[in-house]
Structure 1
């Protein structure tokens, strides 16, 4: 394989963009493990008290990820995220107003390999969420597993991540006066196994929990489609029935996280590595679907609203796909 090296004359601005994305990829792939190692390692040094005090703090603070977390605005507004935005670049597109007097449930599609669009648009201010949707606060749900990791849990909460459990969802959606937006990557870790360029298949047909949640709280549903999300990485072929897919699915059931074998480019060369390609992402926020509140919705209620949601998501995709370089003959499909 011929390796294509990056030229030496790359402007500093682009080097900083690459560095910003490099630290983001590192935080997804290795930061949690590093935090565990530091926490345990300190116990065997003269700095053992740091881990001991943190453990006491952790025990006192254990419920915070289920109670709207603890965002830190200066971290959400960091210049690092603006460099990351410009690397692709990533753009947040508004198609309708959101009433800050209401709380919303938003489905994010597709998950992609690392959910770059979801992270940058809703867990940072790099793409201007607060300016596009004044009065709204986004909360991105993430597997509770990650909030069991010392230090890493605190880092996650600074961006607005909350635990993916009913208690966390209820805490966000019950806020009196509204102004909260709960974002759920509906396809989750399992959908990431099918994230590759040109893929438009969503794991949604039987994912209805977010719809029931919206009905129980009377929260309007907001479909979000991130054009370009699946274009960032190539993935080793893993068709249904293959040994690799079988292994990935078994590990996903055990660990609750998926292990897609992805690759793209490197830091100093463009031929291989774990950095995403420089390809644009346009995250389009659709118009709200009004929801009638029911404390104990029937399955028929859930199925009906779920069908409406899929129709609106398809409309959103069809209305915008040509603007964002999706071929006319491409359509969404659901499994």
Structure 2
């Protein structure tokens, strides 16, 4: 039986829903729509727009790997506040960050669409700049998306940058400091495990971000986003199933995973692509001091990686009961 959403709700809730519709459409559709528009313009009297953009694209090709191009008007757009209030999403600080220092943060878990990562670090929907004054957040994203015409401008405006090492070196080498580089460590592969009640992280063999922290002497920040896996349901795809096999092969070929997820609709709660209204609380842990080492050994990388996992577990254990995680639930690493 279909459970219908009530029509007589406050205007504020309708605006929140529209904000999510806008975000979902942009996240899932713009990457396809933008190249269609770009190519289609060549066959119209507006062909010169695509020609001019192509020239701009070529001249601007290095920007995504050199810190991007944040647009504060876009980040402070009112619609992001409605997006944050829909769930709601909140950002919790456990320690101060020095604006004269650069940081590299690991964000966990990926979730299906990384709602918490986007809302907290690509928008001012949760007032990031007020919570961490003097800090500029940059969220890493697959380089593939910065090759999509027009769409690249949109995602760069929110502070998204490429996942290339050159980009990491550029941001973490800034002498003035104040850069927070956020890495969703589990990547798109971890999204295949994103479902309510799951606390499985793809982290045990993910050590690249730790090595980069050592190379640049950048403190490591563990971040856990409670509720990230609760906002969508996903079709069962256990390890060894045919569906998981197909998804993992596609992930290796395309670089992106394709979780088969569903949520609710605009006017009913049973099916659709809108996320459920489930609270997401992103807790930023205390910085782990890192001594710069231009040539770290594998043992040094392993040691810091183990310390990072320990601090992440401590962060999870210290806050889990506040955010409806059962006391007997613990993080599982793969």
Which TM-score band (shorter chain)? Answer: over 0.9
Q: Kindly indicate whether residue 204 of structure 2 is the aligned counterpart of residue 212 of structure 1.
A: no
TM-fit CA distance, 1:4 = 1.2
Matched, 1:135 2:134: yes
CA separation in 1, counterparts of 2:18 and 2:30? 16
Q: Structure 1: which 5+ residue stretches go unaligned?
A: none
TM-score relative to the length of structure 1? 0.99
Task: Quote how far apart the aligned CAs of 1:223 are.
Answer: 0.2
- Summarize deviations over 1:33-56 as a string: whole Å, max 9, x none: 000110000000000000010000
- Asked whether 1:8 is paired with 2:1, we answer no
Q: How does 1:8-87 map to 2 (within 5 A)?
A: 8-87=7-86
**1:254 corresponds to 2:240:** no
Residues 277-296 of structure 1: pairs in structure 2 closer than 5 A:
277-296=276-295
Partner of 1:185: 184
What does 1:218-297 align with in structure 2 at a 5 Å threshold?
218-297=217-296
- What does the per-residue CA deviation read over 1:304-330, in whole Å, with 9 as the maximum and x for residues that have no partner? 000000000000000000011100000
1:298 Cα shift? 0.7
Paired residues for 1:160-179 under 5 Å: 160-179=159-178
Distance in 2 of aligned mates of 1:8 and 1:241:
43
Describe the SS at the equivalent of 1:4: coil
Runs of 4+ in 1 over 4 A off after TM superposition: none
Show CA shifts across 1:75-120 (max 9, x none): 1001000000100000000000111110000000000000000000
CA-to-partner distance for each residue in 1:147-169, whole Å, 9 max, x for gaps?
Answer: 00000000000000000001111
Q: Which residue of 1 aligns with 2:327?
A: 328
RMSD: 0.5
Q: CA deviation at 1:281?
A: 0.4
Secondary structure of the 1:30 match is: helix
Instruction: Identify unmatched segments of 5+ residues in structure 2.
Output: none
SS of aligned partner of 1:162: strand
Which residues of 2 match residues 111-150 of structure 1 at below 5 A?
111-150=110-149
Q: CA deviation at 1:8?
A: 1.7
Normalising by structure 2, what TM-score?
0.99
Give the aligned length.
334
d(CA) in 1 for partners of 2:7 and 2:196?
A: 29
* In structure 2, distance between residues paired with 1:254 and 1:218: 34
Matched, 1:97 2:69: no
Q: Write the distance in 2 (CA, Å) between the matches of 1:34 and 1:12.
A: 30
Question: SS state of the match for residue 181, structure 1?
Answer: strand
What is the DSSP-based 3-state SS (H/G/I as helix, E as strand, rest coil) of the residue aligned with 1:43? Answer: helix
